[in-house]
Amino acid sequence: MLDSTSRFLLSRQAKIFLLPMFLSIVVCGGDGNSLRVFAASSLTGAFNEIAQAFEAENPGVKVYLDFGGSQRMRSQLEFGARADVFASADAIQMDALVEQGFVAGFPVDFTLNALVVLAMGNGPVNEIADLARPGVKVVLANDAVPVGSYSGQVLENLSQDPIYGLGSRFKDDVLANRVSEEPNVDNLFQKVVLGEADAGIVYETDTVKALDAGTMNILFIPIPDAANVSARYPIAVLEEAPEPELAQQFVQFVLSDIGQTLLNRYGFSSP
């Protein structure tokens, strides 16, 4: 049985633990002029510009952006994080939230992406077949991450179709060369750029990011269209959005000509 001193200490610790949670709930409440958007890492550049353009059209409104792997964003929402809008890099994460009642209305696909091989310049990978060479260090995203799941599909496609001449073991050989599984595409990109891996599979939009940043000594090796994927990005207003009307305005802005033009500037294509 706890004595009075122990009960006091436990009570005090509980209050200290609960205080940040309480403050978080207060901060996340709607104030009529701010919006919180959860978005996939690959949308970082485009959504930063879209948010600025949206704020310019809506004086006094502030858009707060949280970026990360779509699966991590989904998990945070499931565990009580508050946001107004969710933009995912695949339908799997969005569908899971829809099934659990976290989404208001229906998600809509707002942009498309595809994959490309990123490799170090003057390294051992100069064509897709090199990914399977013994000793090559390949970095991929975790299978639970959209870009990781898409990469698995592409490797399977390349292995199964004899037209590419890679052999049925190509996927297995590439996976045997995998040196790490990253939680998002940004981490994966950096691993290759910093020389910690010879090559990896990233989004086509990362080519634009690399050019804008002036990144040197890297190669982008295209993946045949027939073996590539069409990565569809859905967006939706969340059921418990603190600012549902403002959230809907933001979604419509992303779908507008201005939003689509900004997305295209970063290498995305319209659905």
Strand partners, 119: 199, 219
Evaluate whether residue 26 is within a structural domain.
Answer: no
Q: Do 68 and 92 belong to one domain?
A: yes
Q: Do 176 and 107 belong to one domain?
A: no
Evaluate whether residue 23 is within a structural domain.
Answer: no
Question: 């706890």: which residue's tokens?
Answer: 2
Structurally, the chain folds into a number of domains equal to 2
pLDDT at residue number 203: 96
Q: Do 176 and 125 belong to one domain?
A: yes
Q: Do 156 and 108 belong to one domain?
A: no
Evaluate whether residue 152 is within a structural domain.
Answer: yes
Q: Among candidates 164, 172, 181, which has minimal Cα distance to 71?
A: 181
Q: Do 136 and 175 belong to one domain?
A: yes
Q: Do 89 and 168 belong to one domain?
A: no
What is the maximal distance between C-alpha atoms in the chain? 77
Query: What tokens does 139 get?
Result: 């970095």
Evaluate whether residue 39 is within a structural domain.
Answer: yes
Evaluate whether residue 163 is within a structural domain.
Answer: yes
Evaluate whether residue 35 is within a structural domain.
Answer: yes
Query: Once rounded to an integer, what is the mean pLDDT over residues 34-49?
Result: 96
Query: Once rounded to an integer, what is the mean pLDDT over residues 239-260?
Result: 97
Instruction: Find how far residue 97's CA is from the centre of its chain.
Output: 16
pLDDT tens per residue across span 95-114: 999 999 999 999 999 999 99
pLDDT at residue number 7: 38
Evaluate whether residue 271 is within a structural domain.
Answer: no
CA distances from 126 to 152, 172, 187, 219, 252 (A): 20, 19, 22, 8, 42
Q: Do 126 and 254 belong to one domain?
A: no
pLDDT tens per residue across span 204-235: 999 988 887 777 789 999 999 999 999 999 99
The model's confidence at residue 262, banded by pLDDT at 50, 70 and 90, is: very high
Question: DSSP letter at 2?
Answer: -
Position 191 pLDDT exceeds 80: yes
Instruction: Determine the structural domain holding residue 39 and report its residue range.
Output: 31-112+232-265
Position 17 pLDDT exceeds 90: no
Q: Do 103 and 128 belong to one domain?
A: no
- Residue 188: phi and psi, rounded to 5, are -60, -45
Q: Which helix (H) or strand (E) holds 172?
A: helix 170-176
- Cβ atoms of 189 and 213 closer than 8 Å: no
pLDDT tens per residue across span 127-178: 999 999 999 999 999 999 999 999 999 999 999 999 999 999 999 999 999 9
Tell me, what CATH number does 38's domain have?
A: 3.40.190.10
Evaluate whether residue 14 is within a structural domain.
Answer: no
d(CA 217, CA 192) in angstroms, rounded, equals: 10
